Structure 1
Amino acid sequence: MEVARLKSGALLQNSSISEGRMRFIGGLLLIDSGGTLQVVGRFDGTGNFEWSGPWKFDSGDGEIAGNVKLTGDFDLTGQMDVTGGIEILGPGKIKVGNVIIENGRITAGTGAAQVTIDGETGKVTAGDMTMDPTVSGGALTFANGAQVFTDDDTVQLYKGSSVVQVTDSYARLQNGGDVVEINDNGIRMSPGAIPTTPGTGLPVPGVLIQAPNGYVRKSDGT
């Protein structure tokens, strides 16, 4: 009877090992039926560690040495300090508030005040206004077709058939074919910039006068 109880008893139940070691060679340590593996001290291992199911580190500082690969969504609560670079390979998105970095483009804000920086084209768009480095030497364009742009020599404001040009040596105002220019030699006007008015009573043509409506005209000698 004593031998039977010895054979069928749970020999390791409520047992302990002091200053010793338990070794499993080619076997399996299985904890099932709601059991718990509790470690007070250190947990060291060499080899692969695979886990299926939820897991949680409740507290304490941690450190990972080596490469880490995450597959799936990753939620971070708290502050992340990065020493080094962050590189996103392939399609990806970084969103902080209303700022989105995605596919080489940075977008900030919403609606009419939204600002977009396109890393591929170099364009910067703020609402309906676009800064385009590919136009001349760089241009600022507006929704109504107006442009402010520069080339090797000038800065120009352009809308329809009207242009204002500024260089180191002159400032020019032009509408269609009519030009008024200020340079080192004085003021130059194209022939059609000031219309001729007959019947002024001035015997000399080309005299500048101011009409009652405020426009500048020139006499025709009659």
Structure 2
Amino acid sequence: MAASLNDVVGWIKDIFYRLRKLESGSFLESSSISYGRMRFIGGTLMIDSGGQFVVVGSASIDGTMTINGTFLLTGSGWRIVGSGSIEGPTTIVGTLQIDGDTRITGNLGLEGDIAVTGNMSVQDGGKVLVGDMLLDPTEHGGAVIFPNGAQVFTDGTTVQVFLGNSVVQVSDAYARIQHGGDVVQIDGNGIRMSPGAVATIAGTGLPLGALLIGTDGYLRQSDGT
């Protein structure tokens, strides 16, 4: 049966309608590639105007990847393999575990409690400041220096504590208390006191050099009167 003129006109209109849709439509809109590949050579794949880049599966990038903006990585099992650097302020929220050697070059500030399991070594003559108290390995061969100037240190044979004119010395052979030039020492021979360490007292009727305790509680020696 021969087609009528109206049928032919309708076909032509339909063809032009489809041509207009091809010309005015978005190329590759709602397109799908099955078991194939789309390749850009020297071009750019741009997603803008609120679009999203969604990968369900895996993504492999061989080259440089630059992200300007917020980068959010969620989930477990992610890894960064190889050398690299993080430049700029960084915040880690949660537990951080480092398995391996760690080196920090620069100032380190820690806020909160610190627990150390194992040995800790401060090398190369480094000083440790605890509040206003200083652990200084270069002072007298190693000393603890307090804010008021008092020190605890060792000279290799004795352990000494001093502040101002007062010194306490402890060694394997003796223990000594000294204030200025006055000395009281305990050693294998007994107790030794320098002549000025015990003040004299008169009018006791005791022989010269006899020791007694005065009413003020201090040890005194008779002047022989």
In which range does the TM-score fall when normalised by the shorter chain? 0.5 to 0.7
Query: Equivalent residue for 1:53?
Result: 69
TM-score normalised per structure 1: 0.68
* Deviation (angstroms), 1:3: 6.7
Q: Does 1:75 align with 2:75?
A: no
Query: Equivalent residue for 2:80?
Result: 64
Q: Secondary structure of 1:164's partner?
A: strand
Query: Equivalent residue for 1:216?
Result: 219
Query: Equivalent residue for 2:170?
Result: 166
- More displaced, 167-176 or 9-18? 9-18
Distance in 2 between residues matched to 1:34 and 1:181, nearest whole Å? 87
Query: Equivalent residue for 2:3?
Result: none
The letter of the residue matching 1:190 is S
Q: Does 1:88 align with 2:104?
A: yes
Query: Equivalent residue for 1:151?
Result: 155
* Deviation (angstroms), 1:58: 4.8
* Deviation (angstroms), 1:185: 1.9
Q: CA RMSD in A?
A: 3.5
- More displaced, 13-22 or 158-167? 13-22
Number of residue pairs the alignment of both structures matches: 202
Distance in 2 between residues matched to 1:145 and 1:27, nearest whole Å? 72
Identity %: 48
Structure 1 portions without partners, runs of 5+ = 100-117
Which one has a larger percent strand, Structure 1 or Structure 2?
Answer: 1
Q: Does 1:188 align with 2:192?
A: yes
The letter of the residue matching 2:182 is D
Query: Equivalent residue for 1:200?
Result: 204
Q: Secondary structure of 2:157's partner?
A: coil
The letter of the residue matching 2:87 is T
* Deviation (angstroms), 1:151: 1.2
Q: Per-residue displacement from partner, 1:87-108 (whole Å, max 9, x unpaired)? A: 234x454544377xxxxxxxxx
The letter of the residue matching 2:67 is W
Q: Does 1:44 align with 2:60?
A: yes
* Deviation (angstroms), 1:34: 4.1
The letter of the residue matching 2:79 is E
- Structure 1's 25 and 8: CA in aligned 2 closer, same or farther, altered over 3 A? farther
- Structure 1's 133 and 201: CA in aligned 2 closer, same or farther, altered over 3 A? same
* Deviation (angstroms), 1:175: 2.5
Q: Secondary structure of 2:100's partner?
A: coil
The letter of the residue matching 1:87 is R
Q: Per-residue displacement from partner, 1:108-145 (whole Å, max 9, x unpaired)? A: xxxxxxxxxx9776433444433333222333333333
TM-score normalised per structure 2: 0.67
* Deviation (angstroms), 1:171: 2.1
Query: Equivalent residue for 2:117?
Result: none
Which one has a larger percent helix, Structure 1 or Structure 2?
Answer: 2
